[in-house]
């Protein structure tokens, strides 16, 4: 605004007295001047968190996680309970406030107070930082188990089949974090958290923080064996299929699955001279057809193969692509023998790509790669907090918003169009009054969700 300071219009005296905050002037609206003051009280940005609060009331995730942490503090000096801090932090993450520093600005946020079930001011950054460094190894193990329990309870009855998708990703570190190692693939120091999802539904099973090197197959198998054995206790008749990339393929996994009923695997397999020789006919066939017709060619073939280190022969499927880029050969290995090679590769193995989108929701949109704590255990706890936010939004998306445009949306879209809704909170003597805008984009979704939650509470 290119106006001389002395040429500003005179301020309304009565308006200035009633609104003592600093006055700002914007470009004129027609012939009317536009004034801005920060004087609107009891109005907050994240009204959509009320939906996540109702979701948590139904699934009980945060209460389950709080039960894993022992509170050794002197209760006479405690202002913030474990469960209230968990609720506060998880809801902040779900709304896009990933750092503990954000707690200072949001300590009096009315919506967050309702979500944390607390009438006084919320925890600030120092309190939350101490809280993040509190859980020990046993408590974190119980929290990992609590996520698996929540996954099991999300089904009304035992499913006929589930697919366990496992993949790791990088979380860069910028400091002296414990077990942050230099990774040559990413060219920087990082952690490599392991994400485990259910392949059909996208439900999170659990997340495990790992040092910066890529996960060894035998170490991943040790984790998966515990998870599968635990699931088997609850679902004795469910078919469980493990699916992963080539670096999740291990002799231990194959031998273990061979002796179990209704436990199968599909993993990538690194090529070698023997596999290439066994696939020679398929490779040459695809090459000749492409050279003859000039159109991209894709061929599949399966055969039995036993590496020197393997105890049993396994089924290997080779995919050969011939196009203008040359010949591309890929292998997978599986214990499933009654599925055609093409279907096993395309519908079985390639479908694991959906796990990348779930990791994107978890990491990019919920910012779970913020590993700012020095302690490795504290960073594992942080990962669990972000995982809890993922579970709440995913449950809202697939259970409550099913049939709406949001059921297939990214979590960023849900944040922007559902959670970021202005709300006015008035705490009265006998009730709390929350006012939402009379007209906004997702109003009909809120009406649908609130009506559903009213029925569920009956």
Give the pLDDT score at 13.
Answer: 46
Q: What's the confidence (pLDDT) of residue 148?
A: 97
Q: Give the residue, 428 or 81, on which the prediction is more confident.
A: 81
Domain edge (last residue) among 310, 336, 365: 365
Instruction: Give the least confident one: 23-32, 109-118, 252-261.
Output: 23-32
Q: How many Cβ atoms from other residues are within 10 Å of residue 427's Cβ?
A: 13
3-class SS letters over the chain: CCCCHHHCCCCCHHHHHHCCCCCEEEEEECCEEEEECCCCCCEECCCCHHHHHHHHHHHCHHHHHHCCCCCCCCHHHCCCCHHHHHHHHHHHHHCCCCCCCHHHHCCCCHHHHHHHCCCCCCCCHHHHHHHHCCCCHHHHHHHHHHHHHHHHHCCCCCCCEEEEEEEECCEECCCCCCCCEEECCCCEEEECCEEEEECCCCCEEEEECCCCCCCCHHHHHHHHHHHHHHHHHHCCCCEEEEEECHHHCCHHHHHHHHCCCCEEEEEEECCCHHHHHHCHHHHHHHHHHHHHHCCCEEEEEEEEECCCCCCCCEEEEEEEEEECCEEEEEEEEECCCCCCHHHHHHHHHHHHHHHHHHHHHHHHHCCCCCCCCCCHHHHHHHHHHHHHHHHHHHHHHHHHCCCCHHHHCCHHHHHHHHHCCCEEEEECCCCEEEECCCCCCCHHHHHHHHHHHHHHHC
Residue 143 in this model has a pLDDT that exceeds 50: yes
Residue 390 lies in a domain: no
**pLDDT exceeds 90 at position 34:** no
Per-residue pLDDT, averaged over 243-252, amounts to 90
Of residues 174 and 93, the one with the higher pLDDT is 93
| pLDDT for the residue 3 | 46
User: Residue 12 pLDDT more than 80?
Assistant: no
Percent of the chain with pLDDT over 90: 77
pLDDT of residue 76 exceeding 80, the answer is: yes
Residue 21: pLDDT band by 50, 70, 90 thresholds? Answer: low
Domain boundary among 365, 380, 396: 365
In a domain, 25, yes or no: yes
Domain end residue (candidates: 365, 381, 407): 365
Q: What is the dihedral of CA 327, 333, 336, 341, to 10 degrees?
A: 10
Q: What is the mean pLDDT of the chain?
A: 91
Q: Kindly indicate the confidence band of residue 455, based on its pLDDT and cuts at 50, 70 and 90.
A: confident
Tell me the C-alpha distance between 343 and 352, whole Å.
13
22 pLDDT above the threshold of 80: no
The pLDDT, as a whole number, for residue 20 is 56
Domain membership flag for residue 78: no
Domain assignment of residue 17, yes or no: yes
Predicted TM-score of the model (pTM): 0.90
pLDDT at residue number 24: 85
Q: What is the pLDDT of residues 336-368, one digit of tens each?
A: 999 999 999 999 999 998 999 999 999 999 999
> For residue 294, is it within any domain?
yes
Range of the domain at 345: 172-365
* Residue range 326-335: mean pLDDT, rounded: 95
**What pLDDT sits at residue 6?**
46
| Statement: residue 219 has pLDDT above 90 | no
Tell me whether residue 88 is in a domain.
no
25 — pLDDT class (breaks 50, 70, 90): confident
For 41-59, the pLDDT digits (tens) are 888 999 999 999 999 999 9
Distance CA 114, CA 374 (A): 31
- Is 5's pLDDT higher than 50? no
Q: Provide the domain count of the chain.
A: 2
380-419 tens-digit pLDDT: 999 999 999 999 999 999 999 988 899 889 999 999 999 9
Residue 291 in domain: yes
Summarised one tens digit per residue, pLDDT across range 306-322 is: 999 999 999 999 999 99
Q: Specify if 94 maps to a domain.
A: no
């Amino acid at each position: 605004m290119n106006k001389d300071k002395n040429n500003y219009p005179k301020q309304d005296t009565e308006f200035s007295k009633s609104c003592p905050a600093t006055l700002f002037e914007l470009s004129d609206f027609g012939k009317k001047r536009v004034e801005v003051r920060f004087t609107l009280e009891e109005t907050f940005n994240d009204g959509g968190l009320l939906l996540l609060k109702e979701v948590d009331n139904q699934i009980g995730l945060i209460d389950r996680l709080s039960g894993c942490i022992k509170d050794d503090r002197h209760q006479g000096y405690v202002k913030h309970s474990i469960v209230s801090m968990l609720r506060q932090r998880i809801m902040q993450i779900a709304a896009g406030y990933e750092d503990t520093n954000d707690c200072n600005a949001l300590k009096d946020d009315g919506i967050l107070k309702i979500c944390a079930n607390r009438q006084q001011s919320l925890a600030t950054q120092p309190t939350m930082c101490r809280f993040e460094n509190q859980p020990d190894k046993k408590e974190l193990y119980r929290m990992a188990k609590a996520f698996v329990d929540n996954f099991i309870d999300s089904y009304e009855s035992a499913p006929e089949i589930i697919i366990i998708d496992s993949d790791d990703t990088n979380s860069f570190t910028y400091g002296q974090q414990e077990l942050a190692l230099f990774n040559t693939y990413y060219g920087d120091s990082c952690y490599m958290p392991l994400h485990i999802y259910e392949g059909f539904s996208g439900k999170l099973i659990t997340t495990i923080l790992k040092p910066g090197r890529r996960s060894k197959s035998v170490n991943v198998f040790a984790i998966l064996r515990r998870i599968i054995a635990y699931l088997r206790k609850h679902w004795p008749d469910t078919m469980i299929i493990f699916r992963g990339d080539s670096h999740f393929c291990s002799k231990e996994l194959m031998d273990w699955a061979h002796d179990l009923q209704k436990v199968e695997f599909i993993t990538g397999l690194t090529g070698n001279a023997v596999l290439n020789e066994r696939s020679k006919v398929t490779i040459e066939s695809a090459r000749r057809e492409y050279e003859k017709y000039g159109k991209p060619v894709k061929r599949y073939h399966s055969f039995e193969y036993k590496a020197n280190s393997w105890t049993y022969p396994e089924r290997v499927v080779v995919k050969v692509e011939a196009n203008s880029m040359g010949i591309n050969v890929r292998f997978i290995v599986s214990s499933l023998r009654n599925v055609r090679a093409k279907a096993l590769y395309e519908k079985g193995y390639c479908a694991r790509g959906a796990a990348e989108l779930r990791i994107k929701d978890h990491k990019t949109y919920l910012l779970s790669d913020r590993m700012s704590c020095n302690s490795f255990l504290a960073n594992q706890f942080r990962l669990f907090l972000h995982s809890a936010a993922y579970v709440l939004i995913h449950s809202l998306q697939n259970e409550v918003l099913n049939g709406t445009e949001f059921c297939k949306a990214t979590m960023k879209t849900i944040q922007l169009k559902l959670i970021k809704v202005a709300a006015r909170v008035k705490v009265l003597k006998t009730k709390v009054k929350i006012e939402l805008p009379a007209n906004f984009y997702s109003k009909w979704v809120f009406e649908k969700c609130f009506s559903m939650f009213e029925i569920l509470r009956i």
